[in-house]
Structure 1
């Protein structure tokens, strides 16, 4: 299906695309390329989306950070890296991370680490530590938090 869109049709399509869920500029540009828009048309449409408040990088970054932390329980490192991959500015990344309160972050970390530690059935303590640390680091939590927690958890169990 090789359909052709006028810039006006593409704009309407992208307004719906952005209204459905927060989008970053990269997603919008990629979508416009799939609609076979020229670079000039893309620039024009992106500007219109920003002016009409359909596209807002700060809003996207904040929404992304809150959602990934609350739903997927990601740590700040993973959230930062994912936002960088989407070419979000460091200013917006900093603002986004402020959306997660220290208390909420700490609670999520504690709950996730307890659940993870208790779910690992490994008998060998060294392997269990490694599995725990790998999992928590993959989730994007700071290594100092992870290593302090593994010592605490080992202390409780031995």
Structure 2
């Protein structure tokens, strides 16, 4: 259920930034829709569309690009995914705040019962709640870390790999002259 929620939030996030941010950025930069497929990809799937647009834009302006299209796509997906990780962290922080407001009521309950024997039960309830909350927090941080690895660090590795290949070819070309 949590995985589906995370995927759902990602889909909504991507659609919203595509519609609300990248469509305006495209119009501001290009002044009109130059290529309908390019614009649709940018608005509906900006993870790929933003890099694709910048690649084609550079091709239109310069006639050549330094790096291949994949480099543009991987490179420009990174800040979009960073925004998503930040959004998830904020949502998690808010949910954490809400949940901690409801946890820790064991002692309050015990004090209202006017029975000294129940104070131990209330204290124990608060300790168990605190430990559970600590484990949930650790799991959430590890989950965000894994998500960041897949959405941020793998694209960074891909970008560096493409750059390494490009620069290796440049060195080989210079040595062959």
Does TM, scored on the shorter chain, surpass 0.5? no
TM-score of Structure 1 vs Structure 2, range by shorter chain: under 0.3
TM-score, length basis structure 1? 0.28
Structure that is richer in helix per residue: 2
Larger Rg: 2
